[in-house]
């Protein structure tokens, strides 16, 4: 995998200290590289790979690093690299399936400044923001918030309101979205196509930092929030011409075990019609916690059938990090 130092944004896209109200150098130093290695047999290895590289931002005086969770899920080893070149091993402390946040505990002195957390509620469409990846000024981007909206991901993921910023950072995973006051507004998760007037542009989706505060204490203590796990089906659906079509199934997952097939059209959940992803997830989750039985009506060709899927906790399919 290529080192992140082998490229740079053009000068015109980089933030300039004279245009900012916060200490840019300190913010740059707060962002570290996150490099994780995942065993071949891990549940997520086939989708996310066995070597993952992205970013994280120090948010605690002890060097605690906040990142996007898919970088560290099932990680066997993690290395954190500062802009000064120092490399410190890390431990995958926590991952939250609902928000997507992950926490890494440095197993040595990281020696970087922590970034103060702000509130995404203060960010408006059109506001100037700075997107920071590991590697200093050359990997920082002068951007703007172009949307705030609901986001539904086919992997059974839903945010009530995510932040979208453009231009897009090409190495978005775990980047820091920094507001005009220098405080952390969100963590980079995806590259998406977002509407901008009559056109579409490449943008990054960020998980709002506000979602961390209610769960941070539990994540530090228990490795995950103490809320009941949502029911997970291992079913990947795609909207197509006004209906939801099953485009993927987790091997050995709840939906596959219940007889759901690729190409099935999802008509109803718990007796209620569904036609978009967010609606699908909400209706599944309303049935009850993980382990609940989910009644689904499917169309397969010209036939309609009903299945009952015994949902699971997705965490039960994942390799757990070793304790240090």
Last residue of a domain, one of 167, 193, 222: 222
CATH number at residue 36: 2.40.10.120
Q: How many domains does the chain have?
A: 3
Whether 47 is in a domain gets the answer: yes
E strand segments, 85-171? 87-95, 101-106, 128-132, 140-153, 157-166
pTM over 0.75: yes
Identify whether residues 103 and 125 lie together within a single domain: no
Q: 293: which strand partners? A: 310
Whether 324 is in a domain gets the answer: no
Residue 97 and residue 85 in contact, taking contact as beta carbons nearer than 8 Å: no
Whether 272 is in a domain gets the answer: yes
Dist. CA 294–CA 247, nearest whole Å: 19
What is the CA angle 36-41-43, rounded to 5?
Answer: 80
Identify whether residues 83 and 166 lie together within a single domain: no
- pLDDT tens for the chain, residues 1 to 324: 334 458 999 999 999 999 999 999 999 999 999 999 999 999 999 999 999 999 999 999 889 999 999 999 999 999 999 999 999 999 999 999 999 999 999 999 999 999 999 999 989 999 999 999 999 999 999 999 999 999 999 999 999 999 999 999 999 999 999 999 999 999 999 999 998 878 899 999 999 999 999 999 999 999 999 999 999 999 999 999 999 999 999 999 999 999 999 999 999 999 999 999 999 999 999 999 999 999 999 999 999 999 999 999 999 999 876 654
Identify whether residues 90 and 182 lie together within a single domain: no
Identify whether residues 259 and 306 lie together within a single domain: yes
**Domain carrying residue 75:** 13-114+215-222
Last residue of a domain, one of 167, 188, 222: 222
Whether 230 is in a domain gets the answer: no
Last residue of a domain, one of 222, 243, 265: 222
Give the DSSP per-residue string, 56-72.
EEE-STT--EEEEGGGT
Sign of the alpha-carbon torsion through 50, 55, 60, 62:
positive
Identify whether residues 99 and 126 lie together within a single domain: no
Dist. CA 304–CA 268, nearest whole Å: 11
Residue 297 and residue 268 in contact, taking contact as beta carbons nearer than 8 Å: yes
Whether 286 is in a domain gets the answer: yes
Q: Cα dist. 69→143, 214, 291 in Å?
A: 24, 17, 23
Whether 1 is in a domain gets the answer: no
Residue 142 and residue 15 in contact, taking contact as beta carbons nearer than 8 Å: yes
Identify whether residues 182 and 266 lie together within a single domain: no
Q: 132: which strand partners? A: 140, 176
Distance in angstroms between the alpha carbons of the first and the last residue of the chain: 27
**Matching residue, tokens 């203590």:** 221
Identify whether residues 110 and 135 lie together within a single domain: no
Identify whether residues 147 and 195 lie together within a single domain: yes
The tokens of 197 are what?
Answer: 């007037």
CATH number at residue 282: 2.30.42.10
Dist. CA 278–CA 283, nearest whole Å: 9
Identify whether residues 199 and 240 lie together within a single domain: no
Identify whether residues 104 and 137 lie together within a single domain: no
Identify whether residues 181 and 241 lie together within a single domain: no
pLDDT score recorded for residue 197 = 79
Q: Where do the H-state alpha helices sit in 231-307?
A: 254-257, 277-287
Whether 323 is in a domain gets the answer: no
Whether 309 is in a domain gets the answer: yes
Identify whether residues 83 and 127 lie together within a single domain: no
How far is it between the farthest Cα atoms of the chain? Answer: 65
CATH number at residue 160: 2.40.10.10
Dist. CA 170–CA 118, nearest whole Å: 24
């Amino acid at each position: 995998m290529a080192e992140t130092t082998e490229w740079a944004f053009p000068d015109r896209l980089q933030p300039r200290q004279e245009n900012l109200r916060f200490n840019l150098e300190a913010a740059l130093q707060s962002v570290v590289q996150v490099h994780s290695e995942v065993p071949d047999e891990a549940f997520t290895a086939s989708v996310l790979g066995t070597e993952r590289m992205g970013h994280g931002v120090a948010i605690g005086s002890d060097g605690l690093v906040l990142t996007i969770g898919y970088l560290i899920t099932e990680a066997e080893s993690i290395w954190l690299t500062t802009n000064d070149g120092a490399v410190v091993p890390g431990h995958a402390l926590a991952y939250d399936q609902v928000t997507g946040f992950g926490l890494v505990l440095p197993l040595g002195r990281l020696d970087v400044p922590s970034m103060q957390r702000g509130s995404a509620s203060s960010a408006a469409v059109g506001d100037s923001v700075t997107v920071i990846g590991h590697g200093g000024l050359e990997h920082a981007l002068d951007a703007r918030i172009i949307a705030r909206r609901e986001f539904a991901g086919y992997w059974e993921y839903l945010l009530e309101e995510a932040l979208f910023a453009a231009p897009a950072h090409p190495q978005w995973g775990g980047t820091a979205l920094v507001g005009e006051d220098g405080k952390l507004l969100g963590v980079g998760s995806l590259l998406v196509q977002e509407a901008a007037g009559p056109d579409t542009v490449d943008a990054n989706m960020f998980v709002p930092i506000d979602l961390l505060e209610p769960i941070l204490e539990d994540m530090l203590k228990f490795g995950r929030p103490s809320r009941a796990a949502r029911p997970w089906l291992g079913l990947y659906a795609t909207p197509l011409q006004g209906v939801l079509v099953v485009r993927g199934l987790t091997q050995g997952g709840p939906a596959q075990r219940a007889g759901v097939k690729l190409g099935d059209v999802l008509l109803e959940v718990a007796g209620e019609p569904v036609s978009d992803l967010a609606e699908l997830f909400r209706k599944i989750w309303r049935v009850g916690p993980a382990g609940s039985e989910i009644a689904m009506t499917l169309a397969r060709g010209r036939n309609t059938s009903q299945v009952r899927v015994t949902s699971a906790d997705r965490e039960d399919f994942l390799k757990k990090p070793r304790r240090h």
